[in-house]
Amino acid sequence: MNDKALLIALAPVVEENLHLHGDAAEGWQPQDLVPWDDGRNFAFLGGEDWAPEQSTLSEIGKLALTVGVLAADNMPSYHRELAKHLRIGPWWRWVGRWTAEENRHSIVIRDYLVLTRAVDPVALERIRMTHMTNNYNAPAMHLIEVLVNAAFEETASSIRHRNTAKLAGDPVVAGICEKIATDDELQRDFYANIVVAALDLVPDQAMRAIADRVRGFKVPTIPLADGRDSTTDLAEAGIYDPARQDELVFRPLLEKWNVFERTDLGVDGEKAREELASLRV
Ligand SMILES: [Fe+2]
């Protein structure tokens, strides 16, 4: 089935999951989680500019939140990638909803980082400009691959935020990251549920998409100061380790999709499933 036909065939499932998501997602307020009393002006308005000793946040907390805000700030790039594919009816409303949620994540982390002086705001702004200008280009994907990939990315993001909550050593950071992780998990469920419907509709085609995306999956890497990159630093900090992707990202979703127990596959689907079995899990 081509992508246009799939968009139409899956639209009722998208509509249903849009409602499920709306009912389950807590409409939390980013300003509630930021300790505004700790803030003060920068030199431009007569206060004092940032200096490293102004923050007591752990290095792990600074790293993980810097990656978190830059990943969310690059949301217009992801929005463009999604919007290329999901342009009709409930799909389009989902793109809007997802984008607004990601924007809330960047708002709350940025407010926290700048207000508590956890990181150099000038350096952060410089990296944000570079990151957004360099843009993000996803590999060319068909519709089901886009959905599978998004389910993997939201899973990875929720793991990153849950670990940041645990390892940053700060209750305010934990509060922020738990909220974001809960949103990520609901977003993961949205994409994963549409993949369930795609598997029922076109099992061989969906199995092929899953095998290809497991093989090709990479979390987006964020450039950091001094030429470091987020993937290496997060792995070293125990926040997100790509070596554990099979166990933590792929396996739970392959189980949800009932990949290894399905009995409705044709020759092409069986071939894709064999690849999956030998690939990683
Ligand atoms: Fe997310």
**223 — pLDDT class (breaks 50, 70, 90):** confident
Q: Which of 5-14, 37-46, 128-137, 180-189 has the lowest mean pLDDT?
A: 128-137
Domain count of the fold of the chain: 1
Cα 26 to ligand 1 centre (Å): 14
Q: Report the share of the chain in percent with pLDDT over 90.
A: 81
261 is in an annotated binding site: no
* Contact call for residues 14 and 94 (beta carbons, < 8 A): yes
Per-residue pLDDT of 117-131, as tens digits, reads 999 999 999 988 888
Higher pLDDT, 187 or 77: 187
* Contact call for residues 151 and 191 (beta carbons, < 8 A): yes
Q: Which residues of 125-145 are buried (b: 16+ CB within 10 A; e: fewer)?
A: eebbeebeeeeeebeebbbbb
> What pLDDT sits at residue 135?
66
Cα 183 to ligand 1 centre (Å): 6
* Contact call for residues 250 and 214 (beta carbons, < 8 A): yes
> What pLDDT sits at residue 117?
98
- Looking at this protein, which amino acid is placed at residue 271? K
125 is in an annotated binding site: no
Q: pTM for this one?
A: 0.94
Query: Which tokens belong to 14?
Result: 């998208």
**177 — pLDDT class (breaks 50, 70, 90):** very high
* Contact call for residues 67 and 230 (beta carbons, < 8 A): yes
178 is in an annotated binding site: no
> What pLDDT sits at residue 47?
98
Q: What is d(CA 194, CA 192) in angstroms, rounded to the nearest whole number?
A: 5
Counting other chains too, the contacts that 94-102 makes at CB distance below 8 Å and 24 or more residues apart are 94/14, 94/17, 94/18, 94/21, 94/190, 97/18, 97/21, 97/22, 98/187, 98/190, 99/75, 101/25, 101/183, 101/187, 102/72, 102/75, 102/78
pLDDT of residue 67 exceeding 60: yes
Average pLDDT over residues 192-196: 98
Q: In degrees rounded to 5, what are phi and psi of residue 211?
A: -60, -45
Cα 119 to ligand 1 centre (Å): 23
Cα 29 to ligand 1 centre (Å): 16
- Taken in order 42, 43, 49, 55, the sign of the CA dihedral is negative
> What pLDDT sits at residue 21?
97
3-state DSSP percent of the chain in helix, strand and coil, to 5: 75, 0, 25
**74 — pLDDT class (breaks 50, 70, 90):** confident
Domain that holds residue 252: 3-279
Query: What is the phi-psi region of residue 226: left when phi exceeds 0, alpha when psi lies from -120 to 50, beta otherwise?
Result: left
> What pLDDT sits at residue 73?
82
> What pLDDT sits at residue 136?
67
CATH of the domain at 41: 1.10.620.20
